Amino acid sequence: MTQGSRLYFAVAVLMCAFVTINGVVLNDLLERASQLSDKLHSLSTSLTNDLDSHFPPVGRAMMPRPSMCHTSSLQIPNDKDQALKVPEDELLSLARSLLLAWSDPLALLSSEASSLAHPEHNTINSKTKELQDNINSLEAGLEHVFNKMGSTSDNLSSLPFYINSLGQDKTSQLVNFHFLLSCFRRDSHKIDSFLKVLRCRAAKKRPEMC
């Protein structure tokens, strides 16, 4: 079994686990969510490596700054120490807001992946669709976590995405695909960090052990 096949199988198992969660304790839900968020980040890193294998030098000069990511306006903790000071319901809302913000961008990436001017476009297309499936599963899982935590406020931030095309020429399309993916990779790391802090708190571990 190839590395990609093993990753797909592991994620598929985690996705199925969220289907049957009645009676599952909060610790177990957060454990599953944390595992799935970790897989999301690993998959986005693998995709980035695929793109980097044949990325034109001019493309790096054209890449927008990270501050141009559509989620950059969201006020979030910069590191684990800051995240440990944020209330649980707020931390969960931040993770869910980031996931929600990537619904439309990932749909765009998925629709244009097959036409990328890149020798690995078939692999990139397949992994992008996996990202879409997995993020939908994690969204559903975190909704169950929200209900299990008994939060009274569902305070999700709106982070609209107005782009409906990655560009008219092949270089622009490839550069903008890479840029959006780099934004997602950064955000998937944040989501993973937030969920690990929530899992740590649910297990009642000391902050220095998280």
pLDDT of 21 reads 42
pLDDT of 100 reads 92
pTM reported for the whole predicted model:
0.83
C-alpha to C-alpha distance for 179 and 169, rounded to whole angstroms: 15
pLDDT of 19 reads 40
Helices (H), 53-169: 57-62, 80-83, 88-101, 103-112, 121-149
pLDDT of 17 reads 45
Q: Which CATH class is domain 25-209?
A: mainly alpha
**Average pLDDT along the chain, 210 residues, taken 10 residues at a time:** 53 46 72 92 94 84 88 88 88 93 93 90 92 91 86 76 88 92 94 92 79
pLDDT of 178 reads 93
pLDDT of 94 reads 93
Helix (H, G, I), strand (E, B) or coil at 63: coil
Token pair listed for 54: 């044949």
C-alpha to C-alpha distance for 96 and 91, rounded to whole angstroms: 9
pLDDT of 57 reads 82
pLDDT of 8 reads 52
Among positive and negative, which fits the CA dihedral 93, 95, 98, 104?
negative
HSE-CB of 108 using CA atoms within 13 angstroms: 21
- For 156, which DSSP code? P
- For 207, which DSSP code? G
pLDDT of 207 reads 72
